[in-house]
Amino acid sequence: MMTAVAGFLVGMLAQAPAPFVADSAAGAPGRLHIGDTGIRCVRMPCPSRGVYQPGENGHAVRGQLLYADPDGVKGPPPMMGDEKLLIAIREAWDDHRCLAVDGRLIGGEDDRPVLRVDRIAGACGPE
């Protein structure tokens, strides 16, 4: 398990698109933010959109994203849930907004995790 976590962090540091992780605390149900990360960069690649467990200020912590869009062209991660919720998330993603959701990462096809969205709690902000 530590090898998988180390591999994830090395990937983030290299600014490669981060894979979802579905083990450890990342797979537990809870509050996640999806969309604008609050991370701003002078040049690309920049993980300005992603999925993350919010830090104290409600923003993402660089290097701790569960999923990242480093070049601004990736869509949101694979998701499942009520279609109305997923549409709202995709629209927020495209508009570079952020939504707080209750959900969890679950195993998907070919061991690729999927974000299960149970509900949208509202716009992102400090917890």
Q: How far apart are CA 19 and CA 4, in angstroms?
A: 11
Average pLDDT across the chain, whole number = 79
Is the pLDDT at 8 greater than 60? The verdict is no
Higher local confidence (pLDDT), 74 or 34: 34
Is the pLDDT at 79 greater than 90? The verdict is yes
Is the pLDDT at 95 greater than 50? The verdict is yes
pLDDT (average), residues 86-111: 90
Give residue 38's region: left, alpha or beta (phi > 0; psi -120 to 50). left
| pLDDT reported for residue 52 | 92
User: Sorting pLDDT into bands at 50, 70 and 90, what band is 40?
Assistant: confident
pLDDT (average), residues 85-112: 90
pLDDT (average), residues 80-88: 96
Q: How far apart are CA 100 and CA 80, in angstroms?
A: 16
